[in-house]
Structure 1
Amino acid sequence: MTDVPWSVRGGDLILSVRLTPKSSRDEIGGVDRLADGKMVLKVRVRALPQDGEANEALIRLFAKALHIPLASVRIEAGASGRVKTLSLAGDPEALQAALSSLSQRS
């Protein structure tokens, strides 16, 4: 089992996140292990979990934090739940380095 919530698949980085909507601020937090052992990156957004608002805020947050286009961030699974799988298009090594840095700031 890996200690990071991301892996490389093809040319994309696949990332597991646990999203908390209705937060006081938008932020990418640290890494956490769920009860089932799955590693996730904790993310909080101010947006409400209705009409896709929280998902849109999640995509915008990662695009801005990783300096990649909005179209490079896609929710692959879990759109209606708190635990989501994101697909990030770009240089996997650069994305991993950026995520590692972001996840250690919390």
Structure 2
Amino acid sequence: MAKSKLRDLPDLSALATPGRVFSVKVTPKAARDRVICEEDQIKMFVTAAPQNGMANQAVLSLLAKCLGVAPSTLTLKQGQTARNKVFLYDP
């Protein structure tokens, strides 16, 4: 499987403060990976299917790339099986 090309990702590095909580609305099985920021809500579209945590891993790595941090510093706190997820940034 070819790796998707990520274009036009927003720079969210200003939001990467220790202890920050991110609310993310996820749409799995999208046509392409993309991120949209609207006020306090981050909307993410990932091509991964919501099976065996693949979509969660895709969201985690995409969010980390937008924030400019390592994926290991983000923790999924809520929404393991839901579309609305809450991530905690703790370096």
Q: TM-score range, shorter-chain basis?
A: 0.7 to 0.9
Is 1:12 aligned with 2:19?
A: yes
Q: Choose between structure 1 and 2: higher helix proportion.
A: 1
Q: One-letter code of the match for 2:21?
A: I
Residue 40 of structure 1: how far off its partner (Å): 2.5
TM-score (norm. length: structure 2): 0.74
Amino acid at match of 1:89: D
Which runs of no fewer than 5 residues in structure 1 stay unpaired? 1-7, 33-38, 91-106
Matched, 1:66 2:67: yes
Match of 1:86 in 2: 87
Q: CA deviation at 1:84?
A: 0.5
Higher strand share: 1
Give unpaired runs (5+ residues) of structure 2.
1-14
What is the TM-score normalised by the length of structure 1? 0.64
Offset, 1:26? 1.1
Q: Percent identity?
A: 30
Runs of 4+ in structure 1 over 2 Å off: none
